[in-house]
Amino acid sequence: ASADEAGPAPAARDGEPLPAAALYPLLAARGLDYGPALRRVKAATVGRWGGAAELEPLPPPTGLRLHPALVDAALHAAGAALL
């Protein structure tokens, strides 16, 4: 299934939505400032018991299975759980 067919990221149990427009300023305030090319989290849900994120897809470069910016974006989403 394509990213459009997959639907939104599942919500974490007891989670609160955290849109990208709020996530990246919060990360920047803690010294983690990402430029536009690396801002691939579209939305995140964070809660006491976990979280989920919807990432903006990128085609992988030749020879790779996953774009490095998506790996980085997954870490941004993990960082949201620590905010």
User: Model confidence over 46-69: pLDDT tens digits?
Assistant: 877 777 889 998 899 999 999 999
* Tokens of residue 54, six digits: 């919807």
- In eight-state DSSP terms, residue 66 is S
Q: Are 43 and 8 in contact (CB under 8 A)?
A: yes
pLDDT for the residue 19: 85
- In this prediction, residue 30 has a pLDDT band, given cuts at 50, 70 and 90, of confident
pLDDT for the residue 14: 61
Sign of CA dihedral 36, 9, 49, 67: negative
pLDDT for the residue 26: 86
Measured at the CA of 11, the angle between CA 78 and CA 13, to 5 degrees, comes to: 90
Mean pLDDT of the chain: 80
How many angstroms separate the Cα of 14 from the Cα of each of 17, 38, 42, 46, 49?
10, 28, 20, 8, 7
